[in-house]
Chain A
Amino acid sequence: MARNISFKQAINEALDLEMRRDPTVIVMGEDIVGGAGSPGETDAWGGVLGVTKGLHAKYGGRLLDTPLSESAYIGAAIGAAACGMRPVAELMFLDFMGVCFDQIMNQAAKFKYMFGGKAKTPVVIRAMVGAGFRAAAQHSQMLTPIFTHVPGLKVVCPSNAYDAKGLLIQSIRDDDPVIFCEHKNLYGLEADVPAESYAIPFGEANVVRDGKDVTIVGYGLMVHRALEAAEKLAKSRIEAEVIDLRTLSPIDLDTVIESIEKTGRLVVVDEANPRCSIAADVVAAVTQNAFQALKAPPQMVTAPHTPVPFSPVLEDLYIPSADGIAAAVSKITKTALAA
């Protein structure tokens, strides 16, 4: 039965249901219990934003508060995965990948290949991504392109509570390492979510709005900005189709190209920096594979090529806005629609 719950609750529920179903699922990270070994730990904080709250009371020792060393505990999680566990390690902010990236890129991503397909590494690394939280340059980046670049990793970035639960369950059941990116500004967003377990397959984009004039592609928070832009555009009689990629690796280009065959126009929105971004990747793939379908040059709406500013005013300007997306659409629809 579906109820209205938040993105954050959906993540908690996915962890809860999978821990109940499969005793090899363990959860580890800094402060994910938030008081291990101290009185009152059963009612502890449950991570910096409380996502894992309440799980310790149910699963006790299967939640591990780790030392402040990403290289140690991400490495431990990857090793445990290689030995038959299904660990979900919380990296807190994806920005902290720097200190443990060798474990992820050179170990987890490579085991299956280096051992001739005999090794599997079913680890999930959960982390917060994205700007708008007033957390400055080292806690606000959208680093999805870096992980998408590495073969052997799967990269997920949901935009809503329903997808967050189903994609996290799929991530835990998947036999490959999964980087699960949670936009911190979506945690409070509610949606109808079934109480039961369900898994959403990787590599299926979601068409969240039908339109015939232009295709707007995004993921995570940007899906909502794109929908906002589509509503504005509808007032000028431009009907935008909005596609939520949901998973970046694997990526569902078929759905994108199918849409462009109808609309002929593409705008890709990415909160990441523009160079070598998901936006650049989608534009390149569409240009290469569906050039004949394009009626206008594809547009990218991304963050600028700078770190995330600490000034709230600049930070708001840094993140792609609905107006910015609408402007990019207008640029490639105006002449065509007037004709």
Chain B
Amino acid sequence: MLDERIKPIVMPKWGLSMSEGKVTNWLKTVGARLAPGDEILEVETDKIAGVVEAGDVGTLRRVIGEPAATYPVKALLGVIAAEDVSDAEIDAYVAGYVTPAAGAGDDQEAGPRYEFAETTAGSIHYARRGEGAETIVLVHGFGGDLDNWLFNIDALAGKARVYALDLPGHGQSTKTVGEPSLAGLSSALTAFMDAVGIDSAHLIGHSMGGAVVLRTAIDTPERVKSLTLIASAGLGPEINAAYIDEFVAAATRRELKPVVEQLFDDPGLVSRQLVDDLLKYKRLDGVADALSSLARALFANGRQADLLAGDLAELQRPTQVIWGANDRIIPSAHATKSDSARVEVIDDAGHMVQIEKASRVNELILTHIMR
């Protein structure tokens, strides 16, 4: 019988393709008292490096995963238990732990489902996970894709039905961007919601995706229950124009890596695989045109063309704004452009705050939509 007082720390599953991960570093030692959200150890996958956080209160009693060693998803890396649990009980737990085989469990356990929706805006690639009364739609930013929510989908899916899509011109969706504007992308978003049968949802947008969901809330408020704008475009005129230009122009790993590093507070998070995957996307026919047409329409002359902070004030929709304090793409000062929104600026995070501070962002999103 599994002892309820003993909690395993296991190799997480970040995204569909992850089957194993490498332990890089323990941030806590045996005996450390843990609260939910505390960072316990660092794990590196072929996609990205991330941090495993405590899900329970307790003491770190065993460190099992060895630095530099690779373990399958759900392998036992450590044990959390209360002080009064005996060492013998923990030893028995460790000895009796069996790593579930890959693909074991139901679909929910195996990670998000990836599908395509045929919409009036073309073929849209998306992931769906979780069940619940509330529906969340995650919208990535310029040059991004639904994997930008790798560390968010699973956590949010515990409480809600979660969709993440690739916008037109991005990821594996159609490379044809109808009208290269916020209105055009917003209509693709509502076309997607129509196609998969979402009447209204909590919309969460990152960067350019923030401006897209904001546009959607202004044009079709009935489709929007609440807004979460993460490092969002559309709130102020400033933007790192060099980043946009260099991202569009970069054709090789050598060119792209330093550009992508600007997205993070910790550039060490940018793995070779992350850059290679981005290059694979950027090389697809049609992507260069899609990105440059969007860049011209939305960020011409190094300024954001659409400023929606004023409209935000008039929206009768609960809105929160989340920013990384060290954002080098869109200044975190834009977080306070709206008086009506709840604002959270997170330290030690860059533009990809939903990756760098995933558990804090997940917590903020869940609190916001349950409010």
Contacts and interface: CB of A to CB of B under 8 A. Distances in A.
A binds B: yes
Interface of A: 1, 162, 166, 194, 196-201, 204, 207, 210, 254-255
A210 B273 CA distance: 11
A197 B254 contact: no
B321 to A, nearest CB: 35
Interface string B242-259: 000000000111100000
The 5 tightest CB contacts between A and B, nearest first, are A197-B285, A198-B283, A204-B252, A198-B284, A196-B284
Contacts of A255: 254
Given A1-B172, A194-B280, A207-B272, A201 B251 contact: yes
Given A207-B272, A210-B272, A254 B254 contact: yes
Contacts of B125: 1
A200 B254 contact: no
19 contacts: A1-B116, A1-B125, A1-B172, A166-B283, A194-B284, A196-B175, A196-B284, A196-B285, A198-B283, A198-B284, A199-B283, A199-B285, A200-B283, A201-B251, A204-B252, A204-B253, A207-B253, A254-B254, A255-B254
Contacts of B280: 162, 194, 198
Interface in B230-289: 251-254, 272, 280, 283-286
Nearest to B116: A1
Nearest to B252: A204
Contacts of A204: 251-254
Nearest to A207: B272
Given A196-B175, A197-B284, 9 more contacts: A1-B116, A166-B283, A194-B280, A198-B280, A198-B284, A201-B252, A204-B252, A204-B254, A207-B253
A196 B285 CA distance: 7
Interface of B: 116, 125, 172, 175, 251-254, 272, 280, 283-286
Contacts of A199: 283, 285
A209 to B, nearest CB: 10
A198 B285 contact: yes
Nearest to A1: B172
B277 to A, nearest CB: 11
A229 to B, nearest CB: 20
A254 B252 CA distance: 12
B173 to A, nearest CB: 10
A254 B125 CA distance: 37
A201 B283 CA distance: 9
A200 B252 CA distance: 9
Contacts of B252: 201, 204
A255 B285 CA distance: 26
A73 B125 CA distance: 45
A236 B286 CA distance: 46
Nearest to B123: A1
Contacts of B285: 196-199
A18 B358 CA distance: 43
A255 B116 CA distance: 37
Contacts of A162: 280
A321 B156 CA distance: 50
A149 B36 CA distance: 63
Nearest to B172: A1
B261 to A, nearest CB: 16
Q: Which of A162, A204, A254 has the most CB of B within 10 A?
A: A204
Contacts of B172: 1
A204 B272 CA distance: 14
Contacts of B283: 166, 198-200
Contacts of A197: 284-285
A204 B283 CA distance: 13
A131 to B, nearest CB: 30
Contacts of B253: 204, 207
B110 to A, nearest CB: 19
A207 B251 CA distance: 15
A314 to B, nearest CB: 39
A265 B285 CA distance: 38
Nearest to A255: B254
B25 to A, nearest CB: 17
A199 B286 CA distance: 11
A200 B251 CA distance: 9
B169 to A, nearest CB: 13
Nearest to B273: A210
A162 B172 CA distance: 16
A207 B116 CA distance: 32
A218 B30 CA distance: 45
A162 B280 CA distance: 10
Nearest to A210: B272
A223 to B, nearest CB: 15
B251 to A, nearest CB: 5
